[in-house]
């Protein structure tokens, strides 16, 4: 039987990719926008491996009102909240995300800031389930 997924040639694969982003100033543009705005980016991460890509950002491993409030009080421009909800049942994951979002929203309002909440999750694990 023939393999339906033959190995890919590395050079062919690389040549099929789009070019790297040409603007090297993008990180500094993002930093400037965060520094000048009234917005805090809050990344909800459903798995502990996600924060490995973070550099120079606070990572909360719990989401108490006090911890979240402290980041807004410090004027933190961006931070992670590790929910570790990837392995949770969908209902439990929803409860966790609603709880964190409510606390972020409350803390932002009390500090007169806007919150931009970003979900860094594996959404394919939350898709529809087969009834068979």
**Residue pointed to by tokens 């807004």:** 72
Question: Is 116 in a helix, a strand, or coil?
Answer: strand
Task: Indicate the domain borders of the chain.
Answer: 38-122
Provide the token pair at 55: 């550099």
Would the pTM of this model clear 0.95, i.e. be above it? no
Which residues have a Cβ under 8 Å from the Cβ of 108 and sit 6 or more positions away?
A: 40, 72, 114, 115
Q: Which residue has the higher pLDDT, 129 or 3?
A: 3
pLDDT digits (tens, 9 = 90+) for 70-108: 999 999 999 999 998 888 888 999 999 999 999 999 999
pLDDT score for 51: 76
Does the pLDDT of residue 123 top 70, yes or no? no
* Cα–Cα dist 62/99, whole Å: 12
Burial of 129 (0-12, 13-18, 19+ CB in 10 A): exposed
């Amino acid at each position: 039987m023939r393999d339906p997924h033959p190995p890919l040639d590395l050079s062919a694969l690389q040549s099929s990719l789009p070019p790297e982003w040409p603007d090297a100033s993008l990180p500094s543009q993002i930093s400037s926008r965060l520094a000048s705005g009234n917005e805090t980016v809050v990344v909800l991460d459903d798995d502990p491996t996600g924060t490995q890509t973070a550099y120079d950002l606070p990572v909360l491993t719990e989401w108490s009102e006090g911890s979240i409030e402290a980041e807004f009080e410090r004027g933190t421009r961006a931070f992670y909240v590790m929910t570790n909800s990837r392995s949770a049942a969908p209902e439990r994951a929803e409860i966790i995300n609603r709880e964190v979002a409510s606390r972020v929203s409350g803390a932002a309002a009390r500090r007169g800031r806007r919150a931009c909440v970003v979900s860094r999750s594996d959404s394919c694990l939350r898709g529809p389930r087969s009834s068979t």
